[in-house]
Amino acid sequence: MEKILTQAEWIDRARAVLPAGGFGNFDAGIIIREGKGSRVWDEDGKEYIDYLIGSGPMMLGHGHPEVMEAVLEQLPKGMTFFASNARGIELAEEICRAVPCGEQLRYVSTGGEADMYAIRLARAFTGRTKIVKFEGGYHGMSAEAQMSLAPAKRVNFPQAVPDSAGIPPSVAAEVLVAPFNDFEYIKQLMAEHGHEIAAIIAEPLQRIVPPLPGFLELLREQTQKHGSLLIFDEVVTGFRFSYGGAQELYGVTPDLATLGKVIGGGFPLAAIAGRADVMRHFDKAQVGAEGWLMQLGTLSGNPVAAVAGLKTMEVLRREGAYDQLNSTGKRLMQATSAALEEAGVPFQIVGEPALFEVVFTGAKVRDYRDTQAGDAERTRRYNAALREEGIFKSPGKTYPSLALTEEDLQQTEAAIRKAAMALD
């Protein structure tokens, strides 16, 4: 009989073979054994209500029966081909129908890849090299994306600060960094450098910080004025904020959007979607060798991921799905506000109902530096108390899902009240 290992034993084994003892994604001190619906269990059998949900993709919860059925039907037909397949074509058609900017689409396997190729595509289309990103904006792990994601030191804008070892200094010269939600700064930056800028890349909701009214419209106006492209990183917000993503919710259409998480239904799948005249640079026959952007990937358009994504999106199209998700998010935001107000703790609830977080500060949160001004120790204690009460979440985000039940929500509300009281 195989010995059942404790979580501590698994952690010891991980430390021997994995740098920092984990996969680099999340707290290496917890090993998840399984997930079902709205819940996960660790290797010691402790049960949690899951607000991490795989960092966003499991909007329907773990093991949704219709998604499982679709996957199990596909598996005997083939797991990957490195060739086009009908399910991947169907999924591309549905994404392009749903996403306002999506005239054509190219698959990759991860959101980080999608962002990297979107940046390269903008350079190929415009013939320019500089990219504008916002301080604190997350766009994957490419060299450009690792500029001023979480800078340890503050410098004057638009100087870029590398967040990782191994990035050549020359990369910083091609990335201009701006503060999110700063209207005047973007105008000034584009007035000075617009002729050099291939694209502005932005999360429409930057991590948890919503755009101020008119800010995304300003980005659209400025990129059009200066002949640059506007890229929305919708890896997180795509199909979460609405069926057409944040660009539909906020009413601003970019030139390109990167998508991931939800479109794969829990399997590795991502995409770049955008204007056909920009996307044609993936087609050597249209643009020639000089304009061609080479892109390929072993698992791009994987049929198992495609059927999982198709079924997930079918469920999301059903009447009331987004009303339910937003209603759940609003309830959790209100419960958090009530508990923290009662505890007398300064805080801001930041984000949208489908994705939000509490920042322990009395000041308004408009950008990355405002989030960093929050009380980090209080945040740590609050999240630790929630974990103790059976709430599994990221330290910086809360992802509601459609799998949450009334019982889950009542248990969560009780946990929030206990965690708030622990902050005295």
Residue pLDDT, tens place only, 272-326: 999 999 999 999 999 999 999 999 999 999 999 999 999 999 999 999 999 999 9
| Residue 205 structural domain | 66-316
Domain for residue 12, yes or no?
no
Q: Does residue 374 share a domain with residue 242?
A: no
Instruction: Kindly tell me the sign of the dihedral angle through the C-alpha atoms of 151, 205, 143, 157.
Output: negative
Per the prediction, the chain carries an average pLDDT of 97
Residue 152: the pLDDT is 82
One domain for residues 395 and 280: no
Note if 261 is an active site residue: yes
Cα–Cα distance for residue pair 232/168, rounded to 1 Å: 26
Catalytic: which of 42, 50, 115, 233? 233
Q: How far apart are CA 1 and CA 6, in angstroms?
A: 16
What pLDDT, on a 0 to 100 scale, did the predictor assign at position 424? 75
Same domain, 47 and 188: no
Q: What is the pLDDT of residues 144-154, one digit of tens each?
A: 999 999 988 88
Does one domain contain both 266 and 371? no
The number of residues making up the chain comes to 424
233 assigned to active site: yes
**Domain endpoint, select from 316, 334, 356:** 316
pLDDT digits (tens, 9 = 90+) for 152-200: 888 999 999 999 999 999 999 999 999 999 999 999 999 999 999 999 9
Token representation of residue 335: 């419960």
Is 355 found in the same domain as 232? no
- Residue ending a domain, among 265, 281, 316, is 316
Query: Which residues neighbour 376 within 8 Å (Cβ) at sequence distance 6 or greater?
Result: none
Q: Is residue 3 part of a domain?
A: no
- The verdict on 54 and 86 lying in the same domain is no
CATH number at residue 181: 3.40.640.10
Q: Is 296 exposed, middle or buried (0-12, 13-18, 19+ CB in 10 A)?
A: exposed
408 three-class SS = helix
DSSP 41-104: EETT--EEEESSGGGTT-TT-BT-HHHHHHHHHHGGG-S--SS--HHHHHHHHHHHHHSTT-SE
pLDDT of residue 2: 74
Amino acid at 309: G
CATH number of residue 35's parent domain:
3.90.1150.10
Do 99 and 219 fall into the same domain?
yes
19 occurs within a structural domain:
no
The pLDDT value recorded for residue 327 is: 98
The predicted model gives 233-257 an average pLDDT of: 98
The answer to whether 117 and 296 are in contact (CB under 8 A) is no
> Each residue of 64-116: pLDDT tens digit?
999 999 999 999 999 999 999 999 999 999 999 999 999 999 999 999 999 99
* Same domain flag for 53 and 72: no
Co-location of 52 and 124 in the same domain: no
351, pLDDT greater than 90: yes
Tell me: do 166 and 231 sit in the same domain.
yes
Report angle CA 118, 265, 199 to the nearest 5 degrees: 15
Q: Is residue 185 part of a domain?
A: yes
Whether 263 is in a domain gets the answer yes
Question: Would 358 be classed as within a structural domain?
Answer: yes
Q: Are residues 205 and 260 in the same domain?
A: yes
Residue 1 has pLDDT above 90, yes or no: no
Query: How many domains does the chain fold into?
Result: 2
Q: Which of 130, 250, 255, 261 is catalytic?
A: 261
Question: pLDDT (tens digit, 9 = 90+) per residue, 395-423?
Answer: 999 999 999 999 999 999 999 999 999 99
Structural domain contains residue 18: no
Contact in structure between 176 and 130 (CB atoms under 8 Å): yes
Average pLDDT for 216-221:
98
The mean per-residue pLDDT over the stretch 329-353 comes to: 97
| Catalytic entry in 48, 107, 138, 382 | 138
Q: Round to whole Å and give the CA distance between 312 and 414.
A: 30
Domain boundary, last residue among 316, 336, 356: 316
Q: Respond yes or no: is residue 408 known to be catalytic.
A: no
My answer on whether 93 and 218 are in the same domain is: yes
